[in-house]
Chains A and B, each alone.
Chain A
């Protein structure tokens, strides 16, 4: 039962990550490998603030949102000048810089040893200690974020995002200031990823840079693509599948030495297969990446 709760919590965290990346990638077409960097920033900021200043949950939440939004906006600025492939490299650069900073700035982040002993979250008077309480908290956040995404998805704002995704030139011709749209959605998506980081840090109570690598970003991208980029439930389905599948493999009993590698191969195969043969994902309808079919 404990194990199932743990899995559900992990799925919940990845749903939050995938949904936020879906806003950025699925609806706006901005492929970002920096999502795990924002995830990590959220985790580390919260861990450090709670440990050093005993700040409350809402203060850390606010800080993470502000920091990630600002960083996100800064990253978007050059995207206006370059094509989407180059934006991917910009996010790659950001991801590597963040990872290396977390790994090498030992005085601040503890380096590769990470930060341990992160205290549990306290919401006003409610100290979240047990695993079930945590599951409840995650559930609440998933619900709120799904609501927020739902509002965004049905709005005319999202329509413009879809236009930007497919044809920026046309979007400009229609009078849309595309850079503001990109900044807004990237700031929102990155902030939500930071929130997932906060939840993760206080749940596991120990974080290290190894959880926030490029591969982690690509994993989240895989979830979004396989589930269905640009669809509402796609990221949820993708998260459930991609978190559960390796656990099933573990039960089948592969030797643990190669289990991690096999899992990565599985993700790689799925990623390639879906991009090349089923770009709309399992339940999506947007044929991601394909050039305009005229």
Chain B
């Protein structure tokens, strides 16, 4: 039983980080950027290259991987999304395009590294800690801590820096955001680079816990999307949503089998969207 609790914490950590990352990007560019899934996968594969193949020391390999992934993410933004002004393309088209970009990224990784499941863990098996009857491996503990640290960093940046203020205003009031003394363009760039680093790092942590396969990005991102939709706009709400989703999935997996995890998650999403009060149309100015 306590294993469920521990598993809940672990999955919640991943969901919350991804959900927060997605919501930051959403604030910046006002659409759900699916290509982030590709960055999540790019992180560990870069590690595979830098650390496992080139045998660069761990610390530097981490930095290179995260930087490279983040730069790739920025390049995607620069080459594709940025070309089109905020208002020319609807969020729907950008969302679809981001799916396309994810497909490209994932298949490029497949071509370079192959489709098989790979491991980037070192040979020694990770010894788990016993925590009140439940197993918790060191990397899983790192994941939980990472999510807590990430939440704090996001809170600080959003509320204490001018970039955070700008980011918060872009969604609400674009002209106001432009007059805040910080370039909106710069804010978006910084958001992309930062999110790229954190998400690729999350991917690396995930890969150390579970083996990697090129197609794993989409699943995680969808959990992040569910968390974002159910959670809404606030950081606290996303955290709560992440925990609830994770709890539901892990409880459900315990009772009806872990192969149904995705179904549970999406059933929750469907249920949530079905229960929405009738949205009044935007005829209101």
Contact = CB atoms under 8 A, between A and B. Distances in A.
A290 B110 CA distance: 33
Contacts of B277: 81
Interface of chain B: mostly helix, strand, loop or mixed = helix
Contact of B90 (A80, A265, A267, A291): A291
Contacts of B64: none
Interface string B89-110: 1111101110111111011101
B276 interface: yes
B229 interface: yes
B31 interface: yes
Given A78-B276, A271-B100, A289-B89, A89 B225 contact: yes
Interface string B226-263: 00010000000000000000000000000001011011
Interface residues of B, number: 49
Interface residues of A, number: 48
A96 B262 contact: yes
A100 B92 contact: no
A31 B96 contact: yes
Interface stretch (B182-190, B201-209, B267-275): B267-275
A276 B89 contact: yes
Contacts of B100: 218, 222, 267-269, 271-272, 275
A143 B97 CA distance: 32
B118 to A, nearest CB: 16
Contact of A272 (B80, B218, B262): B80
A279 B104 CA distance: 19
B218 A265 contact: no
Interface of chain A: mostly helix, strand, loop or mixed = helix
A215 interface: yes
B282 interface: yes
A78 B229 CA distance: 14
A218 B107 CA distance: 15
A290 to B, nearest CB: 6
Interface in A203-223: 214-215, 218, 221-222
A291 B89 contact: yes
A88 interface: yes
A86 B279 CA distance: 12
B84 A97 contact: no
Interface string B25-36: 000000110000
Nearest to A101: B263
Contacts of A267: 100, 103
B266 interface: yes
A81 B278 contact: yes
19 contacts: A77-B274, A84-B92, A85-B91, A94-B266, A97-B266, A101-B263, A218-B103, A261-B108, A261-B110, A261-B115, A262-B111, A264-B106, A265-B111, A268-B103, A271-B97, A272-B104, A275-B93, A276-B83, A289-B93
Interface of B: 31-32, 80, 83-84, 87-93, 95-97, 99-104, 106-108, 110-111, 115, 218, 222, 225, 229, 257, 259-260, 262-263, 266-267, 269-270, 273-274, 276-279, 281-283
